[in-house]
Amino acid sequence: MPHPTSSGQLAAGEREDAQVSRLLTWLSATAIGFLIGIGAKAWFAGHSTHAWVLWSFIGLIALNMLYFASTGNRARQKAGMIVIVGLLFTYLIASGGESNTGPLWFYVFPPLLFYLTDLKTGTAVLLFCYLVAVVVFQFPGLPLVSAEYSMDFKIRFFAALTFESIFCFVLEASRLKARNELLTLAETHEHAARTDELTGLANRRDMQNRLAMEFSRYQRSGHHFSIALIDLDLFKQINDQFGHDAGDDVLREFAGLIRTVIRQADVAARWGGEEFLVLLPDTSLLQALTLAERLRSDVSRHAFRFRDQALPVTISAGVCSIAKARSLDDLLKQADLHLYNAKESGRNRIAPRVRSQETESSPSPSP
Ligand SMILES: Nc1nc2c(ncn2[C@@H]2O[C@H](COP(=O)(O)OP(=O)(O)OP(=O)(O)O)[C@@H](O)[C@H]2O)c(=O)[nH]1
């Protein structure tokens, strides 16, 4: 059964992706506004070709937005935006934009790139853009290249861009490190919040969540489930006679035995003190009783020891199926009642008793 919050990392990744998508939409809208304005300025300054090229980028950005709106594919949306912005900056460097100020827009690229991609991809794309800029700067006679820059400008442009790129890289690397540490910390806390420290089994709170989920699954699709409420017999005596550490050892060892008996889909929790609850999805009452009986028998045959002393450990359990209960509360109450009956009728037994159990060798006569 999937855990309600075990996919914490995935959920965080999903939230981040959604955040990046929102930022991209906002960025696309802003870029469109800028391109309209700068294009208009170029148009009125008599640079109609430049204006049309800028406006054509509006079409590309709008197409990218539409593609994302119709497919919801965030990875393509990011890649599309990087390619469009890369092309735009290449054009601005090659054409010089207005008054040869086109390359200045390139400074927007490094932070955007590192935010949208991972460090490796960002660095690779940035190096590629550097190469394009070097080619354009060194070979002004190439087709589509109409700008020429002074040596002074080129040196300053690269120096400032390199400084900015390194700065962005370091910032993004430390942001990612802090983010990963936070995620790990959150994961650890989340695990601790649903785990019993002593036995490593689920704790009561986690079991309550799982029971609620299993109950709503039962209400939705009619999938039956059962529970076994298990209590260690006369546990106080073990504590009193052998000490609290011995008691703790027994609880841990018993938790290990439960793990060997249940299936992967079953969930065992420490319900409190020396009481355990096992949730058995898709399990009938009879199957649950069989499992509980196997556990009881394993425990009674298991040699519990503490500092070379043998400990007398047995369990009693109350079992109930959801088919016999009106609600989750009722299910727990009935299991508790059966457990009480098991204790009352001599301990080291499972309740309710069924014929097959009664005819098998039993630790004490059935009530
Ligand atoms: N060592 C240890 N003992 C615990 C822990 N939690 C609860 N206990 C002890 O478990 C004992 C439970 O005792 P009771 O409720 O009287 O039940 P019991 O002695 O098991 O008797 P029955 O349930 O009637 O068979 C108490 O002595 C608690 O102190 C724990 O984490 N470690």
Same domain, 59 and 160: yes
Give the mean model confidence (pLDDT) for residues 76-87.
89
Per the structure, the count of domains in the chain is: 2
What is the CB < 6 Å shell around ligand 1?
A: 198, 231-236, 239, 244, 247-248, 251, 273-274, 343, 347
Same domain, 288 and 157: no
Same domain, 82 and 164: yes
**Over pLDDT 70: what percentage of the chain?**
93
Which of 100, 106, 149, 159 minimizes the C-alpha distance to 129? Answer: 106
Same domain, 271 and 185: no
Q: Is residue 352 part of a domain?
A: yes
Question: Which is the closest atom of ligand 1 to the Cα of 198?
Answer: 31
Sheet holding 267-272, edge to edge: 267-272, 275-281, 225-232, 315-321, 350-351
Instruction: Among 198, 239, 251, 343, say which to mutate for ligand 1: greatest number of ligand atoms within 8 Å of CB.
Output: 239
Q: Above 90 in pLDDT, residue 1?
A: no
With bands split at pLDDT 50, 70 and 90, how would you rate the model's confidence at 10? low
- Structure token pair of residue 264: 């992967």
Tell me 5's DSSP state: T
- CA-CA distances (angstroms) from residue 194 to 57, 146, 171, 185, 187? 52, 65, 35, 15, 11
Same domain, 324 and 277: yes
- For all residues of the chain together, what is the average pLDDT? 89
Same domain, 170 and 77: yes
Same domain, 271 and 343: yes
Q: What range defines the domain where residue 158 resides?
A: 8-191
Same domain, 217 and 126: no
With bands split at pLDDT 50, 70 and 90, how would you rate the model's confidence at 138? confident
pLDDT in tens, 196-248: 999 999 999 999 999 999 999 999 999 999 999 999 999 999 999 999 999 99
Contact assessment for residue 258 and residue 267, using Cβ atoms and an 8 Å cutoff: no
Query: 274 CA distance to ligand 1 centroid (A)?
Result: 5
ipTM: 0.96
Cα 196 to Cα 58: distance, rounded to the nearest angstrom = 57
Same domain, 279 and 168: no
Residues ≥6 apart with Cβ < 8 Å to 91:
53, 102
Same domain, 65 and 118: yes
Query: 316 CA distance to ligand 1 centroid (A)?
Result: 13
Among the candidates 141, 164, 191, a domain finishes at 191
pLDDT in tens, 260-306: 999 999 999 999 999 999 999 999 999 999 999 999 999 999 999 99
Report the pLDDT value the prediction gives residue 361, as an integer from 0 to 100: 44
Same domain, 168 and 292: no
Q: How far is CA 131 from the centre of its chain?
A: 39
Among the candidates 191, 214, 234, a domain finishes at 191
Q: Is residue 36 part of a domain?
A: yes
Q: Above 50 in pLDDT, residue 366?
A: no
Query: 314 CA distance to ligand 1 centroid (A)?
Result: 13
Contact assessment for residue 275 and residue 231, using Cβ atoms and an 8 Å cutoff: yes
Instruction: Give the residue whose CA is nearest to atom 8 of ligand 1.
Output: 273
Report the amino acid identity of residue 179. Answer: R
Instruction: Give the residue whose CA is nearest to atom 13 of ligand 1.
Output: 236
Q: Is residue 220 part of a domain?
A: yes
Q: Is residue 364 part of a domain?
A: no
pLDDT in tens, 43-55: 998 889 889 999 9
Full-model pTM: 0.70
With bands split at pLDDT 50, 70 and 90, how would you rate the model's confidence at 355? low
Among the candidates 162, 191, 220, a domain finishes at 191
Question: Which is the closest atom of ligand 1 to the Cα of 247?
Answer: 1
Q: Is residue 125 part of a domain?
A: yes
- CA-CA distances (angstroms) from residue 226 to 148, 260, 300, 319, 358? 79, 18, 23, 7, 21
Instruction: Among 274, 336, 340, 348, say which to mutate for ligand 1: greatest number of ligand atoms within 8 Å of CB.
Output: 274
Tell me 327's DSSP state: S
Same domain, 178 and 239: no
